[in-house]
Amino acid sequence: MAVPDTAVAPATPAPPAAATRRRRPSRPDAAYWLYLLPGAVLFLLVIGGPLVYTGYLSLTRWSGVGDPSFIGLDNYRNLLHDDVFWTSFQNTVAMIVAMVLLPTLIGLVLAAALFDTIGRRFRPRTAAALRAAFYLPQVLPVVVAGIVWGWILRPDGAFNGLLDAVGLGALRHDWLGDPDTALPVVMAVMIWVQIGYPVVVFMAALERVDPELYEAAEIDGAGWWHRFRAITLAQIRPETFVVGLTCTIAAMKVFGPIYALTRGGPENATNVPSYFAYYTFFKKLHVGYGSAISMVLTLIIVVISVLFIRAQNRAERRDRGI
Amino acid sequence: MAVTLTPPARARRVPDRHHRGVTRWIVLALVTAAALAMLVPFAFMLLNAFKSPGDYSTNGPLSWPSEFYTKGLRTYWEQVDFPVKLWNSTLIAGSVAVLAVLVSLFNAYALGVGRVRGRLWIIGLFLLANMLPQESLIYPLYHFAKEAGLYNTRLAVIIIFTVIQSAFGTYLLASVLGTFPRTLLEAAALDGAGKWRILWRVVLPNLRPTLSVLLVFFFIWTWNEFLIPLVMLIDNQTQTVPVALASLQGDRLMDAPTTNAGSLLSLVPAILFFLIFQRTLARGITAGAEK
């Protein structure tokens, strides 16, 4: 939203080149490089340099002291035979289901209900208050939320207490301690964490949609589902792309909730690449191996992002073409 | 922005038709129930933050506290020296917010207004930096910080997050400034203003709404960060609010009521920010999604 705020007027074409050239005979943009200098130095120091160094370390064996010894692609070869590595990436798929797929679907329905029915047939204030409840977990430190959930799901925690209270005491369980239930339970917590983001973005997107479209469709006798599919989904596709991309990246990077809830356990049932890398770096002190895990994760994220952005551009071009 | 565009069209209300009468109440009830379900964990936490450990073990997590017990809160407050943690988090998040906005502004000025050569590549680089998992940077950062004597200092964390947040800020602001009205810049240049003056007198005032959104987001994001503070800050004097709670997790001293009391204390600042900045946040998320 802030983007159009500043665009007071459409950018006008450049002034006659002659005028500019007379005033500034040297290359006009040279002085701007100075403004980029502090940012560029910091960037190289904190992001560029370390990334390259991690890439180098992934080709070495190193415990963090002494000199790394170069071993070529051995770490990567070992990764291919490492069950934990494959499990962690399988769990990433589960995280994508829990942090992208389900929140987007549920978020679409909730946003449509909040905007369409509650915002318009009741008061917009009501819709805003309900939206806040969904969004709240998004602004909290996710580790703290994870710790609260970790306690709720403990054997003596509130969830089992709740089961007792409603007469389902037979279902009491160590939810996070059992390899069979840990992953689904972590996924449920991640839906809770993530749901607010699509709700807020989609509600804002719906404000953009011309209400007359809905009115016209309604007059034509289109039902709710039909209007939802033909108008809502079509109109807010750009936002769906953005939500899909940002949430996918977030799902592949997820660390804090896993740290707080399960530390990747039990028996790696909830391990994810970022926790696996952290553990390999700082608990097992296999820095080279940890670097290889990180580089694979980085590569996958970059490739998926590029594919996403390409797909979006293609869709946009197709829309303009029609 | 979008809000101001829609009301005229919406003012002309569609008259409620047939099924709408009952359906809307059902929808309201369902969505309200879902919203309340979102808040249930907080209710559980509140209920047990004011319970004594004995009360918890005899009456379980769902009972009403038999007395208004605040010792859990006090224990956690003193045990982790909570005011120090609050100050650390505030110092780190505050410095990062201001510095990262400044760096983003400078970068974006060169890229969006200055249109320096190769800017598309540079913007692409910043975009890429946004996607990187922090694991791909953490070990070298940890190692270099140790070598430079910055390990376990708040300064190290401030520098790191200034860069990480400004990667996003640069990307966002560069696209905003790419559409900055050239006429304004040229008018100022004709009046004899140099680049420095144009940045502060022309660009900055026009960008203020966007910058304030960024400031709030950088503050909250940095406040909530976990991995890098966890690795970089290892003692009581330097740790942040979330790291302090996480490093006590699983500790023998942390019985269920103390865990809840600690979580409650750790969530209060974030909930306050949420209430204070709600509008800014809603505006910002949308801005992020619009690019």
Rounded Cα gap, residues B242 and A147, in angstroms: 10
Q: HSE on the CB side for A294, CA within 13 Å?
A: 32
CB burial readout B250-269, b (16+ within 10 A) else e = eeeebbbbbbbbbbbbbbeb
Q: Which domains does chain B show, CATH number per domain? A: 74-289 (1.10.3720.10)
* CA-closest candidate to residue A211, choices A119, A127, A125: A119
CB contact under 8 A, B285 and A200: yes
Residue type, A200: V
Rounded Cα gap, residues A35 and A259, in angstroms: 39
* CA-closest candidate to residue A85, choices A285, A309, A272: A272
pLDDT at position B189: 87
By C-alpha distance, the chain A residue nearest B175 is A3
Rounded Cα gap, residues B147 and B159, in angstroms: 16
Q: How confident is the model at residue A223 (pLDDT cuts 50, 70, 90)?
A: confident
- For the ranges B219-228, B233-242, B276-285, the lowest mean pLDDT is seen at B276-285
- Token pair listed for A180: 């069979």
pLDDT at position A277: 96
For the segment A226-238, the average pLDDT, to the nearest whole number, is: 83
Q: How confident is the model at residue A255 (pLDDT cuts 50, 70, 90)?
A: very high
CB contact under 8 A, B14 and A218: yes
Q: How confident is the model at residue A182 (pLDDT cuts 50, 70, 90)?
A: very high
Distances (CA, A) of B246 to A246, A314, B223: 26, 44, 14
- A interface test, pick of B13, B25, B26, B31 with most A CB neighbours within 10 Å: B31
Which one is predicted more confidently, A16 or B4?
A16
What are the pLDDT digits (tens) for B77-112?
988 899 999 999 999 999 999 999 999 999 999 998
Question: What is the distance in angstroms between the Cα of A2 and the nearest Cα belonging to chain B?
Answer: 5
Q: Is residue B11 scored above 70 in pLDDT?
A: no
Q: How confident is the model at residue A29 (pLDDT cuts 50, 70, 90)?
A: low
Question: What is the distance in angstroms between the Cα of B290 and the nearest Cα belonging to chain A?
Answer: 7
Rounded Cα gap, residues B74 and B82, in angstroms: 10
Instruction: Residue A240: count other Cβ atoms within 10 Å of its Cβ.
Output: 19
CB contact under 8 A, A12 and B160: no
CB contact under 8 A, B141 and A6: no
What are the pLDDT digits (tens) for B106-149?
999 999 888 888 888 999 899 889 899 999 999 999 999 999 99
**B75: Cα separation from own chain's centroid:** 28
What are the pLDDT digits (tens) for A47-97?
999 999 999 999 999 998 889 999 999 999 999 999 999 999 999 999 999
Rounded Cα gap, residues B259 and B249, in angstroms: 8
Interface of B with A in 192-251 (CB under 8 A): 195, 199, 206-207, 209-210, 213, 220, 223-224, 226-227, 230-231, 241-243, 245-246, 249
A297 domain-assigned = yes
CB contact under 8 A, A154 and B256: yes
* CA-closest candidate to residue A153, choices A186, A123, A125: A186
Interface of B with A in 51-80 (CB under 8 A): 57, 60-62
Phi, psi of A87 (to 5 degrees): -60, -45
Full domain range(s) for residue A231: 77-321
Residue numbers in A near B289 (CB within 8 A): 201, 204-205, 239, 242-243, 246
CB pairs under 8 A between A and B: 343
Rounded Cα gap, residues A46 and B138, in angstroms: 10
Q: Is residue A1 scored above 80 in pLDDT?
A: no
- Token pair listed for A196: 């607010």
Residue numbers in A near B167 (CB within 8 A): 43, 47
Nearest to B45 among A142, A148, A211 (CB): A148
Phi, psi of A210 (to 5 degrees): -65, 120
pLDDT at position B289: 53
Residue numbers in B near A140 (CB within 8 A): 224, 267, 270-271, 274
pLDDT at position A217: 83
A142 domain-assigned = yes
By C-alpha distance, the chain A residue nearest B221 is A139
Nearest to B24 among A29, A121, A218 (CB): A121
A64 domain-assigned = no
Residue numbers in B near A246 (CB within 8 A): 288-289
Contact present, B111 and B279 (Cβ < 8 Å): no
Rounded Cα gap, residues A299 and A273, in angstroms: 12
Which one is predicted more confidently, A6 or B10?
B10
* CA-closest candidate to residue B284, choices A3, A285, A211: A3
pLDDT at position B239: 94
Question: What is the distance in angstroms between the Cα of A226 and the nearest Cα belonging to chain B?
Answer: 16
For the segment A166-173, the average pLDDT, to the nearest whole number, is: 86
Query: In terms of C-beta density within 10 A (0-12 exposed, 13-18 middle, 19 or more buried), how is residue A313 classed?
Result: exposed
Q: Give me the residues paired with residue A69 across strands.
A: A61
A246 domain-assigned = yes
Q: Could you say which DSSP state residue A70 is in?
A: E
CB contact under 8 A, A156 and B256: yes
pLDDT at position B95: 97
What is residue A60's three-state secondary structure?
strand
What are the pLDDT digits (tens) for A32-41?
888 999 999 9
Q: How confident is the model at residue B287 (pLDDT cuts 50, 70, 90)?
A: low
For the segment B237-254, the average pLDDT, to the nearest whole number, is: 83
- For the ranges A208-212, B114-118, B236-240, the lowest mean pLDDT is seen at A208-212
For the segment B258-278, the average pLDDT, to the nearest whole number, is: 89
A69 domain-assigned = no
Rounded Cα gap, residues B56 and B48, in angstroms: 8
Query: How many secondary structure helices (H) and strands (E) does chain A include?
Result: 20, 2
Q: How confident is the model at residue A195 (pLDDT cuts 50, 70, 90)?
A: very high
For the segment B181-185, the average pLDDT, to the nearest whole number, is: 88
CB contact under 8 A, B28 and A122: yes
Instruction: Please enumerate in sequence order all residues whose Cβ is within 8 A of that of A275, keeping only pairs 6 or more positions apart, or say none.
Output: A88, A255, A258, A259, A263, A264
Q: Is residue B10 scored above 70 in pLDDT?
A: no
pLDDT at position A291: 96
Q: Could you say which DSSP state residue A13 is in?
A: P
Contact present, B76 and B265 (Cβ < 8 Å): yes
- Token pair listed for B41: 């964990």
∠A89-A277-A65 over CA atoms, to 5°? Answer: 155
Helix axes B256-289, A196-208, angle to 10 degrees: 30
What are the pLDDT digits (tens) for B153-178?
999 999 999 999 999 999 989 888 88
Instruction: Residue B174: count other Cβ atoms within 10 Å of its Cβ.
Output: 24
Cβ–Cβ contact B33 with A under 8 A:
no
By C-alpha distance, the chain B residue nearest A276 is B135
By C-alpha distance, the chain A residue nearest B208 is A6
pLDDT at position A5: 34
A6 domain-assigned = no
Rounded Cα gap, residues A167 and A152, in angstroms: 18
What are the pLDDT digits (tens) for A268-310?
999 999 999 999 999 999 999 999 999 999 999 999 999 988 8
* Radius of gyration, CA atoms only, chain B: 24
By C-alpha distance, the chain B residue nearest A291 is B136
Contact present, A190 and A177 (Cβ < 8 Å): no
ipTM above 0.90, yes or no: no
Here the CATH number for the domain that contains residue A225 is: 1.10.3720.10
pLDDT at position A117: 79
Q: Give me the residues paired with residue A70 across strands.
A: A60
* Radius of gyration, CA atoms only, chain A: 25
Rounded Cα gap, residues B241 and A144, in angstroms: 9
Q: Is residue B7 scored above 70 in pLDDT?
A: no
By C-alpha distance, the chain B residue nearest A259 is B246
Q: How confident is the model at residue A230 (pLDDT cuts 50, 70, 90)?
A: confident
Residue numbers in B near A204 (CB within 8 A): 2, 282, 285-286, 289
Q: Is residue A19 scored above 70 in pLDDT?
A: no
- On whether the pTM is more than 0.90, the answer is no
Q: Is residue A17 scored above 70 in pLDDT?
A: no
Nearest to B160 among A46, A260, A281 (CB): A46
CB contact under 8 A, A141 and B137: no
Q: How many domains does chain A have?
A: 1
Nearest to A2 among B5, B210, B241 (CB): B210
Instruction: Please enumerate in sequence order all residues whose Cβ is within 8 A of that of A28, keeping only pairs 6 or more positions apart, or say none.
Output: A20
CB contact under 8 A, B133 and A130: no
Contact present, A254 and A99 (Cβ < 8 Å): yes
Contact present, B110 and B180 (Cβ < 8 Å): no
Torsion of CA B239, B241, B243, B247, to 10 degrees: 100
DSSP B22-58: HHHHHHHHHHHHHHHHHHHHHHHHHHHHTS-HHHHHH
Residue type, A316: E
